[in-house]
Structure 1
Amino acid sequence: SMWEMFRDVGFGAAPGLGFPGEAAGKLRPYRNWRPIEQATMSYGHGISVSLVQLARAYSVFARDGELVPLSMLRVDMPPPARRVMARRTAGAVRAMLEMAVNRGGTAPRAQIMGYRVAGKTGTAHKQENGVYAADKYVSSFVGFAPASHPRLVIAVMIDEPSAGRYYGGTVAAPVFAQGMAGA
């Protein structure tokens, strides 16, 4: 189920990096879901995740359905991976994420010369006092490259972008491209 997938990629649990104040986000128990929530959670309403959790979830697509424990250390022998998604499913999602970055998608500004990139934009109203603010946004882009054999996942979040532009593909995707090109 959708809830099991969210749980399997780490939503609703602290990421485990060992930093003070790590956020678990919000994933309500499945037994408390209302019928409409499965639809609204698919586009981010009714669930909250940290940027680290989102990057970790995208690593599952980049790693053909395997989830690796997070670490800020470079190690010769990474910890063992755990399969949380079928390889075929992860590959299909990766292909869709690559289309989002291509011409006609929501994030052509995430493209990097000479590399195939895959990723997804996000644009959301900010919450203030439990209500979505009409004129305040959080914009994001999460992606990986090269799409054919991913080596790096980068997640970018812009809190309250200015200059009248707030879509993830407009403000966060170029930051991703700049960071990924320099990596």
Structure 2
Amino acid sequence: MDPEDLDRDPHVQFERWFADARAGGVAAPEQMALATASRAGIPSVRMVLLKGHDERGFVFFTNRSSRKGRELGENPHGAGAFYWEPPHRQVRIEGKVETISEDESSAYFQTRPRESRVSAWASPQSEPLRSRDELERLVADAERRFVDVEDVPLPPFWGGYRIVPSVIEFWQGQASRLHDRVRYERDGGSWHRERLAP
């Protein structure tokens, strides 16, 4: 893989590789490892689902009072990683993270199954629970709250984020372990490409 083989726009290149992963039967190619860090720089990582991508960045949704939401409130930078096997490819992204509008969040929220919308209201994400029973009671309480509500609304503490990348790296694994790596780095309004050692 040569840098010149890839599109000049890393967003276009990502879409190509993402489509290849889907077409190749990768289970849940939208799974993304998301890394955030506290104000003190202590990192944490977890899996989220990519729910949108365009030239503005990579979108995911979560409870804003969760650990990742709190960390992004303190330190609005993040990194994401996708790994697809086959075709033995990885994409890494790094950049600032911004909240998306309430209208965008609400539009996505309404596409979720009703049970998932109720669960978003019920779960105090990342907070300690005494038992599974406590969680199930919270869900039952939320079900009663919305029993006559057809369109469960967006919770005020839930919504989307967009990673606005300054770096996007494409990695193609090789049997020799002399893997191909190409990094795109934003340089003003354009992208600079370069090959990296494996």
- The structure with the larger Rg is 2
The structure whose RCO (Cα within 8 Å, separation 6+) is larger is 2
Tell me which interval the TM-score lies in, with the shorter structure as reference length: under 0.3
Larger proportion of strand:
2
